[in-house]
């Protein structure tokens, strides 16, 4: 039955105007009384003149986006999945890490087909525009259609990887699709540590093939990915009173595009931390600048889009700083006029407050100026020369009462190069006397040149769309790397619909590609024998 809550989610998804909303609620009430749920849904779609196909997938996605699921806070989503499995009488288990496995038997005539694992992660990156009032721990994602794209109102959309979860749930709920036995794996905390994949037990699943549903370009089949590591750099200090006669300013930037620190690291987008750090370094070399607070970035796998730094300068220097800021920001706007055309800059006075010890702040600024950020090298193999091999992203800077923490994430498709990049970042911050901790290291995923799964996927794609798919590696990290360590004999690939600007409030899903991936997925499941 189409509930009131579900109707609100669909209305938000379809961006329906108020008069239409009233009519829909009247119709939903009638549908509830007369028990014509299927007809009501069909008429609802016709009334809005919008076709979200495949409907069964988007219905599941709407339900998912009504459930809060920040990384490390997926309890409500786990409960939903367990209830879903039990309601459909499927074997449903939860491991000690929180991963959920729902097993559906083969359909009639497909009993001899090999078992296929479908895998997606249930958490999402939670980011929003600075002026949007939204609580990711309780508010449903408010989505709407913009041309051929599905996007959200001022927040991340959650299609990474909610759409993968929706594919799995739609397949589990179906009774008209041919497939062998399927094991639907839903992992937790992919975005902030790959906790679910790390905690996956080696003998939990029986499938011979695995299809990861966490890719972001339809028509591309991914067969390898980068490994990564996170470096935390802590500058400890004792707050102290600012010198007398100092003027406090808050410098800010917002409106950068940001993006995924793997997929988008090669797009030459501005990094808010590096941009603010450059200005501080120049001013620090000219005058006695004292830093009070510096905050920018939210996730270690996202390029920071906005940030603020509060600092103090001698009263006699404040006009010089303002003039320098105007010159500097115009130069940076020109520098990023293609990749980040909508930046917004601010410099204003603010209240007096304690400052960081001068020498600690000086070394912090020098480290931010010096540290590597962005792509370092591209892959040397000719077939993968298009792809970044090694990179680093200065992702977060956060001020607490007695410390400033800088978080940087390193990636590489080559294990030794990853170690070198991580050591380079570590050495830079050690020279600045920071306390350095490295963690959350995960392996890359090596390509299987003899993959039967990929062969079938390529053949079925050509039959469906009369063109060749691309078989590629990816610089982003996928859970396939960790899963392949624990299940070395499982043949794997990754596919997904086209997403753009993931990990940002501009995240969007190209609606027509959702149907294409669905058709492709069903063809692979039917023909993998």
Query: Known catalytic residues?
Result: 123, 190
Q: List the one residue out of 471, 507, 503 whose CA is nearest residue 396.
A: 503
CB 105 within 8 A of CB 183: no
Close Cβ partners of 357 (under 8 Å, ≥ 6 residues apart):
237, 238, 240
Q: List the one residue out of 131, 151, 52 whose CA is nearest residue 502.
A: 151
CA distance 117 to 186: 10
Strand partners of residue 111: none
Q: List the one residue out of 479, 415, 445 whose CA is nearest residue 97.
A: 479
CA distance 261 to 199: 24
Report the residue count for the chain.
529
Q: Which long-range contacts (CB under 8 A, 24 or more apart) does 422-428 make?
A: 422/229, 422/231, 424/372, 424/392, 425/231, 425/371, 425/372, 425/392, 426/231, 428/367, 428/370, 428/371, 428/372
Backbone angles phi, psi at 293, to 5 degrees: -145, 150
DSSP string, 269-335: ---HHHHHHHHHHHHHTTS--EEEEEEE-S-TTEE---EEEEEEEEGGGHHHHHHHHHHHHHHHHHH
User: Which two structure tokens, joined as six digits, stand for 321?
Assistant: 């700083």
CA distance 469 to 457: 9
CA distance 137 to 145: 24
CA distance 450 to 427: 40
Cα angle 507-513-514, degrees, rounded to a multiple of 5:
80
Cα angle 401-403-405, degrees, rounded to a multiple of 5:
125
User: Per the omega criterion (within 30 degrees of 0), is the bond before 54 cis?
Assistant: yes
Three-class SS string for 202-244?
CCCCCCCEEEECCCCCCCEEEEEECEEEEEEEEEECCCECCCC
CA distance 76 to 327: 50
């Amino acid at each position: 039955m189409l509930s009131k809550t579900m109707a609100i989610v669909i209305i938000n998804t379809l961006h329906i105007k108020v008069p239409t909303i009233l009519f829909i609620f009247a119709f939903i009430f009638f549908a509830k009384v007369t028990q014509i749920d299927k007809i009501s849904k069909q008429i609802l779609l016709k009334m809005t003149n919008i076709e979200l196909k495949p409907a069964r997938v988007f219905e599941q996605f709407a339900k998912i986006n009504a459930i809060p699921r920040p990384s490390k806070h997926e309890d409500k989503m786990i409960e939903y999945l367990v209830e879903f499995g039990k309601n459909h009488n499927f074997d449903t288990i939860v491991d000690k890490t929180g991963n959920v496995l729902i097993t559906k038997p083969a359909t009639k005539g497909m009993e001899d087909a090999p078992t296929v694992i479908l895998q997606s992660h249930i958490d999402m990156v939670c980011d929003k525009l600075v002026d949007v009032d939204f609580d990711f721990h309780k508010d449903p994602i408010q989505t709407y259609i913009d041309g051929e794209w599905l996007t959200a109102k001022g927040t991340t959309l959650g299609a990474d990887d909610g759409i993968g979860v929706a594919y799995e749930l739609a397949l589990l709920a179906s009774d008209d699709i041919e497939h062998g036995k399927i094991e639907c794996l839903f992992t937790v905390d992919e975005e902030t540590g790959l906790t679910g994949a790390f905690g996956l037990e080696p003998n939990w699943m029986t499938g011979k093939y695995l299809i990861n549903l966490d890719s972001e370009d339809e028509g591309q089949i991914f067969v390898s990915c980068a490994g990564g590591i996170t470096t935390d750099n802590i500058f400890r200090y004792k707050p102290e009173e600012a010198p007398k006669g100092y003027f406090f300013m808050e410098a800010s930037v917002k409106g950068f595009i940001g993006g995924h620190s793997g997929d988008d690291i090669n797009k030459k987008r501005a990094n808010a931390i590096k941009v603010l750090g450059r200005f501080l370094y120049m001013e620090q070399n000219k005058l006695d600048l004292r830093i009070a607070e510096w905050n920018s970035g939210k996730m270690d796998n996202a390029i920071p889009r906005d940030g603020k730094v509060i600092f103090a300068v001698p009263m006699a220097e404040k006009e010089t700083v303002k003039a320098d800021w105007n010159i500097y920001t115009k130069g940076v706007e020109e520098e990023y006029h293609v990749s980040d055309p909508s930046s917004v800059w601010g410099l204003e006075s603010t209240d007096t407050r304690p400052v960081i010890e001068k020498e600690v702040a000086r070394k912090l600024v020098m480290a931010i100026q010096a540290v590597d950020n962005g792509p370092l090298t591209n892959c040397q193999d000719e077939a993968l020369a298009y792809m970044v091999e090694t990179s680093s992203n200065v992702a977060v800077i956060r001020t607490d009462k007695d410390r400033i923490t800088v978080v940087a994430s390193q990636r590489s498709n080559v294990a030794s190069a990853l170690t070198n990049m991580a050591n380079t970042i570590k050495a830079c911050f050690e020279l600045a006397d920071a306390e350095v901790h490295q963690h959350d290291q995960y392996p890359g995923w090596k390509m299987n040149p003899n993959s039967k799964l990929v062969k079938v996927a390529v053949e079925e794609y050509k039959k469906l769309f009369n063109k060749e798919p691309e078989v590629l590696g990816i610089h982003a990290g996928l859970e396939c790397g960790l899963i392949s360590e624990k299940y070395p004999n499982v043949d794997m690939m990754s596919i997904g619909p086209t997403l753009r600007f993931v990990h940002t409030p501009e995240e969007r899903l190209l609606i027509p590609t959702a149907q294409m991936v669905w058709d492709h997925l069903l063809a692979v499941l039917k023909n993998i024998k």
